Amino acid sequence: MKDDFDFDEDANFSFDDEEEDDDFGMTFEEDLYLMIREKLRDTIHEYKAQFPVLKKLETSVSNFKVKAANTDDSKFYPLAAKLLAEHIKPLTEESEEIMEIYTSMQADITRFKNQRAHGHEGDLYLSA
């Protein structure tokens, strides 16, 4: 006698503990760096009318370039984030707002070393 239930023998019932790759092949480091840049861009866009000094930050961030040939993602993106922070650090002396953004950005940069660290979200450094 045939069972009441027919299972499709061709169906794939594999259960992987791995998360689905929905980031199109990006490494953690690349994704984190792009998130930091996106937070900076969104924060500047949102608040530059309220805090005109952020226009200097916008110019500084848009002029930032990193050249590190033959470097893999695990080294390039943490280096790029560190250099970006160093690039905007002189502007922290010009305003409390830029200092707050810089300090908040540091919380995200620590995630390169500890992926489980809680990145910063909030006030003058918007979440992505």
Task: For residue range 58-110, list pLDDT tens digits in order.
Answer: 999 999 999 888 888 889 999 999 999 999 999 999 999 999 999 999 989 99
Residue 78 placed within a domain: yes
- Are 29 and 78 in contact by the 8 Å Cβ rule? The answer is yes
Burial string for 10-21 (b: 16+ CB within 10 Å, else e) reads: eeeeeeeeeeee
Res 29 pLDDT > 50: yes
Residue 7 placed within a domain: no
Residue 69 placed within a domain: yes
Structure tokens at 103: 């300090």
| Per-residue confidence (pLDDT) for residue 30, from 0 to 100 | 94
| Per-residue confidence (pLDDT) for residue 18, from 0 to 100 | 46
Task: Give the mean pLDDT of 43-62.
Answer: 95
- Sorted by sequence, the CB contacts under 8 Å of residue 105 that are 6+ apart come out as 36, 39, 40, 85, 120, 125
Residue 119 placed within a domain: no
Residue 120 placed within a domain: no
- Residue 77 belongs to what domain range? 28-112
Q: How far apart are CA 61 and CA 125, in angstroms?
A: 14
Residue 96 placed within a domain: yes
Question: Please, what is the end-to-end C-alpha distance for the chain in angstroms?
Answer: 58
Residue 118 placed within a domain: no
Q: Give the pLDDT band (50/70/90) at residue 54.
A: very high
- Are 47 and 55 in contact by the 8 Å Cβ rule? The answer is no
φ/ψ of 125, rounded to 5, equals -155, 90
Q: How far apart are CA 41 and CA 56, in angstroms?
A: 13
Residue 77 placed within a domain: yes
φ/ψ of 113, rounded to 5, equals -90, -30
Domains in the chain: how many in total?
A: 1
| Per-residue confidence (pLDDT) for residue 16, from 0 to 100 | 47
